[in-house]
Structure 1
């Protein structure tokens, strides 16, 4: 019989650290858009979905950039669901990710299992880690829930056994979702039932990709003869999503004289979105040279299939090491999504839902030979192991259990869903957002909901996160016009595109504010976005001065919140001051940062930039020689290479070379 139990998984892990307390007001740096030259050649539904409600802001999420790269053994709570054939290990505090899927009869691990937990800057809001199976919901990119807890509980499975339910409130799109995992007795396949609900009275954009990490020394099979390849005009074999402007249809398996279904055949990173014909079964597999590996299949609603490769070039290899540790085997990703590509969002109609079923298990089939012969052979093996009709029948059986109320609570997620349920009175059978999950983050908003006012932070504490959905904005507009309310109202107005009104709200709040720095920082960002660099620098300098005064008066210097906000505001202020040519003022800000902050890799790079601006090129070069690691380095970011080029004509040292393009393009 299937069992579900708690377990502790101990890994070398870097701590997540505190979130960035400053609201992310700037536009996303990964706007997914397509060159107009390609748009006319796209299928009509794809073009429509690419244009539909692209994400323009991270709000109300906060950026997660407080992690480092120092790893120590850490005990992680795990939930293990197991039958006599498979054992799946789930991490409820880390987005509900499946960390391992072990096939017991063959003693084979079906996934790429990362031996460490190393956050890196790949999620939409920062912290993300590689390995296993993750559930990407919200918008184009890795979910903001990558390193966040989700709710978990036991529920009855369709076959009468036990099922593990994961659920949470996705805040970018304000949508609840659930993921149900169960293992029928004697089954070689893990079944996954997924559902996204839209309880609102308006349509909402939604997005889903199940992201599966597998060892890269595989051949990846999917029933397609063509793929959509996002690419840079200068790139070879593709480019990471987020930096391309072109989208072309390419043949599968061979493109550019190379069989791209072998991940190790690609030099550079690439995404291949397979064009699976409408009448074909939905599946994707990754098989080793002996023909063993993992297959994922689903009901037809989950249309898309994708292969992501890092490539064998120095940048791809460096990123692979960065996400784990040297000497660990590399990985690629096979994925399954609601639409053809990760450039698209789907309209979910008001008061409706979307659901599907996935299955994960072992597959044995020869990967060598003619493409169509290989596909036919693999699909025949899949049909014998798990008939397509059985997947549809399992989905129907699961739908009858999807609303079943959970029993024993196994893990607790955030309180944001509970707050929304309190506000609206929504009934969401099967996914309770209980009032006892409300926490400190929700406390001021609960007060606004019940009392009509937003309390000021205690002891000069930094303001918490802002709720920006229209109902909360309406409540802020009718609340007493305190500095705190004006601050949060301005953030909500900024998110809604009413920037002029946001600035007016922040200016009103500033007139009576004791703690001026949160409002000044928002006004500084507004000035930057409007091209007023000198005025932005003034606002930042004043904001940092005020922060340092409040920090001394209102909190212990060792308080983690104050360390985090000082680091975040100082980083932005130095950048603005250097951009305005005010190196002396930037140095003043630098000198007031905590020594521990200045020792972090990101701030060592800032120090080198500051030294270079001061004309101290040899000292800036020495920072590189001493060595630093920018823990939150963003894929595609070229700041390290650009600064190095100003300091030295020599090639960029390998330890700093994360470039994903030939010749750094």
Structure 2
């Protein structure tokens, strides 16, 4: 059977992602994978340097996705199927290019954890993320902001004379284009994945990449990698070297033998072949290998404790198989970023396929023998030299121009190419993809003037790269231009100048609430909580007077600003004003789990603990509960000494 590529539709129970949060993300979300300066002491020098290299100041210019819920309905998702007589890969171009399924035909088995639902949860850097399959994480430490975003997709010529699927986009956190080429030779048991990240700028850029593979997890599942040590990261935010496989009295290569979620970044020797496998009780499962530039390998496990199991149910549905993640990255750990000089690129090839090894050896007490057995079976199935040869064969085709469009991503790459005239063979960012969000920035580029909107609406997304900031600084100082200029200055770390820009804009702004909200965040960052609360209250009043309808954009703005305003007012014990903000939200908003929790917090602040407890007893689900968040336990503990009910237990670390 020759390799075929076809478009299809996958129908899954799915929750809608919802509209983006229109408030600029002036503060980064709380990424759990972070270390302070003290925690970096004692680490290898190169690791410590890369952990400290260019951490994100903000999520700008990306917007937060927090408008999803928990109600799922049958939904048609566009998919691309790549198939030969041995493998069938199903790709979701509209959801970050995720490989949803990798089916091995001879064994009649799924090699990945295939999530039976699409349920966003707050795990990505910008919020919405979903579990399962193989995802491509680029940008910065954490799950990519493209998790729930469309990518460009097209057919391109493959090295063996057939066709391969190219996925590509412009990654906006680091301002870099990238591509993922999915190549399945006609007689292959392995899907090859060619990846390229380019830096078209003169300045260096920090690069982050981890391929994240979800695999089914059972009591007998064992993860094997060629390492005797690993860097352990727990949700206590500590990184330490530990032995593999046994650590603290248990074999941690079996994911369910740990109680709490944790990362194990395997310390694979530089000269060793790079691979990782997840195998079942019969020694069968998935193996991933690559060319050597992709040096990192990792196991993430949820563990067997209540919190980890609750998260598993939350991300899919009760009664389904649990999963663990095996991963491969450019650095040893996910806390690091790698420097990519201007005009340079990183490229490599990964291979994914089925593996069968001797079960007794895989699950025996001799770790060295288990590793050797898996390594030997991998060498038979796909020699190291064959991966290197596949990379060399693919590399000339990385510049091949797309032959047939399969899906369309965003217009942001087209805007950058239009501005700078970048030449990016193989990954066209055509002007036809420019849309409504890019329109005012295209006008700024063409005329030097940032246009005022034709109708009253929440401001569109800001751009913050130095070249856009420079253009805003020379544009006429209209209120909207000053708003966007302040956002760009804030992102650059020039906080005082950002405040001055927002204050100038406020003097003449017909729409005051966006500027007031930015100034309120600045007050919070500066330690002036009282003035922040005042500005938040004034901003919410102005928004309520200005909003024109109950459409998605205005509702998203009201929800986001109301939530921030209530938190700011409660922080300075202005409880009555916080309750007033809450009372002006739409009934449909107040029914959301997030606002049921806020109601409980308000009731507690008002001294109405019994009523706050009743909110918990009635039950609610906070759809956008952040990974690692402990707010449910904190509020519960303020109400009672009783154990936290299972329904609210998402704790990912031991309690002190």
Deviation at residue 185 of structure 1 after TM alignment: 1.0
Alignment-derived partner of residue 363 in structure 2: 368
Q: How does 1:257-406 map to 2 (within 5 A)?
A: 257-365=249-357, 366=359, 367-369=362-364, 370-406=366-402
Alignment-derived partner of residue 513 in structure 1: 509
**1:579 partnered with 2:571:** yes
Alignment-derived partner of residue 223 in structure 1: 226
Q: Distance in 2 between matches of 1:192 and 1:580?
A: 53
Deviation at residue 538 of structure 1 after TM alignment: 0.9
Q: Distance in 1 between matches of 2:117 and 2:34?
A: 34
Give deviations 1:224-263, integer Å, cap 9, x for gaps.
0000112xxxxxxxx24xx50x321111111112111011
Deviation at residue 159 of structure 1 after TM alignment: 0.4
Compared CA separation, residues 660 and 39, structure 1 to 2 (3 A): closer
Assess if the C-alpha contact under 8 Å between 2:79 and 2:91 holds in 1: yes
Q: Distance in 1 between matches of 2:285 and 2:616?
A: 43
Compared CA separation, residues 613 and 440, structure 1 to 2 (3 A): same
Q: Find the residue that maps to 1:577 and give its secondary structure.
A: helix
Structure 1 residues 197-206 or 251-260, which shifts more?
A: 251-260
Task: Spell out structure 1 runs of 4+ moving beyond 4 A.
Answer: 35-38
Compared CA separation, residues 33 and 590, structure 1 to 2 (3 A): closer
Q: Find the residue that maps to 1:131 and give its secondary structure.
A: coil
Q: Distance in 1 between matches of 2:607 and 2:92?
A: 49
Give deviations 1:82-118, integer Å, cap 9, x for gaps.
0111000000000000000000111110000000000
Structure 1 residues 25-34 or 88-97, which shifts more?
A: 25-34
Give deviations 1:138-193, integer Å, cap 9, x for gaps.
00000000000000000000000000000000000000000000111110000000
Q: Distance in 1 between matches of 2:217 and 2:341?
A: 39
**1:117 partnered with 2:118:** yes
Q: Find the residue that maps to 2:31 and give its secondary structure.
A: coil
Deviation at residue 129 of structure 1 after TM alignment: 0.3
Alignment-derived partner of residue 3 in structure 1: 4
Q: How does 1:33-52 map to 2 (within 5 A)?
A: 33-34=34-35, 39-52=40-53
Assess if the C-alpha contact under 8 Å between 1:28 and 1:56 holds in 2: no
Deviation at residue 38 of structure 1 after TM alignment: 5.7
Assess if the C-alpha contact under 8 Å between 1:38 and 1:248 holds in 2: no
Give deviations 1:584-636, integer Å, cap 9, x for gaps.
11111111101111100001101111111111111111111111100000122
Compared CA separation, residues 121 and 460, structure 1 to 2 (3 A): same
Give deviations 1:502-561, integer Å, cap 9, x for gaps.
00000000000011000000001111111111111110111111101111xxx22x2111
Compared CA separation, residues 228 and 379, structure 1 to 2 (3 A): same
Alignment-derived partner of residue 235 in structure 1: none
Q: Distance in 2 between matches of 1:254 and 1:397?
A: 40
Question: What is the TM-score with the length of structure 1 in the denominator?
Answer: 0.96
Q: Distance in 2 between matches of 1:644 and 1:253?
A: 37
Give unpaired runs (5+ residues) of structure 1.
231-238
**1:487 partnered with 2:483:** yes
Alignment-derived partner of residue 408 in structure 2: 412
Structure 1 residues 105-114 or 578-587, which shifts more?
A: 578-587
**1:141 partnered with 2:133:** no
**1:523 partnered with 2:523:** no
Q: Distance in 2 between matches of 1:89 and 1:582?
A: 53
Q: Find the residue that maps to 2:177 and give its secondary structure.
A: strand
Alignment-derived partner of residue 644 in structure 1: 636
Assess if the C-alpha contact under 8 Å between 2:29 and 2:126 holds in 1: no
Q: Distance in 2 between matches of 1:7 and 1:101?
A: 15
Q: Find the residue that maps to 1:401 and give its secondary structure.
A: helix
Q: Distance in 2 between matches of 1:650 and 1:39?
A: 38
Structure 1 residues 448-457 or 393-402, which shifts more?
A: 448-457
Q: How does 1:538-553 map to 2 (within 5 A)?
A: 538-551=534-547
Q: Distance in 2 between matches of 1:635 and 1:47?
A: 24
Deviation at residue 652 of structure 1 after TM alignment: 1.2
What is the root-mean-square deviation in Å for CA atoms of aligned residues? 1.1
Assess if the C-alpha contact under 8 Å between 1:120 and 1:128 holds in 2: yes
Q: Distance in 1 between matches of 2:551 and 2:453?
A: 15
Q: How does 1:648-659 map to 2 (within 5 A)?
A: 648-659=640-651
Number of aligned residue pairs: 649
Give deviations 1:467-513, integer Å, cap 9, x for gaps.
00000000000001010000000000000000000000000000000
Q: Distance in 2 between matches of 1:166 and 1:623?
A: 46
Structure 1 residues 604-613 or 132-141, which shifts more?
A: 604-613
Question: What is the TM-score with the length of structure 2 in the denominator?
Answer: 0.98
Give unpaired runs (5+ residues) of structure 2.
none
Give deviations 1:384-435, integer Å, cap 9, x for gaps.
1111001001000100100000010000000000000000000000000000
Alignment-derived partner of residue 613 in structure 1: 605
Give deviations 1:328-374, integer Å, cap 9, x for gaps.
11000000000100010000011110000000000001222111111
Alignment-derived partner of residue 158 in structure 2: 157
Alignment-derived partner of residue 177 in structure 1: 178
Alignment-derived partner of residue 202 in structure 1: 203
Assess if the C-alpha contact under 8 Å between 1:31 and 1:55 holds in 2: no
Q: Distance in 1 between matches of 2:130 and 2:30?
A: 20
Compared CA separation, residues 104 and 632, structure 1 to 2 (3 A): same
